[in-house]
Amino acid sequence: MHELGVVFSVIKQVEKIGSENNVEKINKVVLELGEVSTVIPEYLEDCWKWAVKRTELMQQAELEIRKIEAVTYCEGCRKEYPTVEHGKICPYCGSENTYLLKGNEFIIKEIEAE
């Protein structure tokens, strides 16, 4: 389960930002998570609940996850389509000459602090 490592990384980054800005308490962290990022939101939330209790700055911090839909672009017909539904093969022209435009991101979007 790599979600625990991801959570530790997020906590480390948020604590660094908090320290640089003289923050006393982190109340909430908002993550944007691509739908094909390989991070499982439910596991991430479970790991978060366990890990933040072991921090000083983030003990009660809420985690909000916002999903970024995966979108693929076809170079054959120049159309975009939903990646999860259709995969690598374009549903419009059948081309395999496609690439992911978005959907594998993992971004710390917002930090709510005191």
Task: Say what the pTM is.
Answer: 0.87
CA angle centred on 29, ends 82 and 66, rounded to 5°:
15
pLDDT at 87: 96
Domains of the chain with CATH codes:
3-69+103-113 (3.30.2320.50)
Q: What is the mean pLDDT of each run of 10 residues along the chain (114 residues)?
A: 90 95 96 95 96 94 98 98 97 98 97 94
pLDDT at 2: 84
Whats the size of the chain, residue-wise?
A: 114
Give residues with Cβ within 8 angstroms of 84, minimum separation 6.
Answer: 35, 36, 70, 103
Alpha-carbon distance of 65 to 106, in angstroms, equals 10
Residue 35 identity (one-letter amino acid): E
Q: Is 56 left (phi over 0), alpha (psi -120 to 50) or beta?
A: alpha
